[in-house]
Copies of this chain bind each other. A is one copy, B any other.
Amino acid sequence: MTYAQFSRRARLSRRDLCRRILEGHRDSIKTKKEPTAVKNLELIFDATLKVANAKGFQAMTMRDLSQASGLSMGALYAYFSSKEELLEMVQSTGREVTGRLLREGFEEVRDPVERLATAIRTHVFLSEAMQPWFFFSYMEARHLGKRQKELAKQSELATEKMFADVIRAGQTQGVFNGHDPDLTAALIKAMLQDWYLKRWKYAARRLAVDAYAEMVVKMVMAFCLPVGAVATVSGEKKR
């Protein structure tokens, strides 16, 4: 799988995302006309991610957001009741989409090695397609309330468990060696996060998303496969 193939399949346009958000907040959003609401939500989320990812959510004022989105302050408050609720909307939407696409991403792949590689690629590609969301979720998680912060942690652990389970299954089948699956998953996640957190670094090096994904796959396989088996995994098996 390449990033181009992933993009075609996932089809996560901002438009669709905003329609989903609208459905989830029908009762709290005051604007009832769907096309208007979806269009404005798109403006709001684009502006929020743009401004907040540059200077931080706390530092972003409602005036900033008003200017960046083109909506007046009054209009903004038709879509959320407080700045904190806006924060939670962005976070929960990101979490929901991520969880769904990640699970869909590799469920049909059965071979443990390909399954692990596909999980890694899917995560990198997903974080590439939704980079502003991932960056925002990571950096602003600690500004959430207690309840929402707990949800964010659970979501992170769930993603990690997904990787750990793939590794455990491979160990049971005798394909992977005996390194601690949970800790291995944690290290994998750390490498995956760097791609969307330190974008400036990889942009400066002109490193493509596909190359990054393959590098992580190689590193993980070198670690998880028994000595001697590594050479056989440089490419994909199928096709």
The reply to whether the CB of A59 lies closer than 8 angstroms to some CB of chain B is yes
The dominant DSSP class at the A interface is helix
The answer to whether A180 touches B215 (Cβ under 8 A) is yes
The reply to whether the CB of A205 lies closer than 8 angstroms to some CB of chain B is yes
Q: How far is the CB of A201 from chain B (nearest CB, A)?
A: 7
**B-side contacts of A216, CB under 8 Å:** 187
The answer to whether B59 touches A143 (Cβ under 8 A) is yes
Q: How many residues of A contact B (CB 8 A)?
A: 40
Residue of B nearest to A190 (CB): B194
Once bound together, how far apart are the Cα atoms of A198 and B152, in whole Å? Answer: 13
Once bound together, how far apart are the Cα atoms of A28 and B223, in whole Å? Answer: 51
Q: How far is the CB of A58 from chain B (nearest CB, A)?
A: 4
Indicate which residue in B55, B143, B198, B218 contacts A179 across the interface (CB closer than 8 Å).
B218
A189/B200 contact (C-beta < 8 A), A222-B222, A230-B227 known: no
Interfacial residues, chain A to chain B (CB-CB below 8 A): 54-56, 58-59, 139, 142-143, 153, 156-157, 179-180, 182-184, 186-187, 189-191, 193-194, 198, 200-202, 205, 207, 212, 215-216, 218-219, 222-223, 227-228, 230-231
Q: Could you show 26 A-B contacts with beta carbons less than 8 Å apart?
A: A54-B142, A55-B143, A56-B56, A56-B142, A56-B143, A58-B58, A59-B143, A139-B142, A156-B201, A179-B215, A179-B218, A180-B215, A182-B205, A183-B205, A183-B212, A184-B219, A186-B201, A187-B215, A187-B219, A189-B194, A219-B222, A219-B223, A222-B222, A227-B228, A227-B231, A228-B228
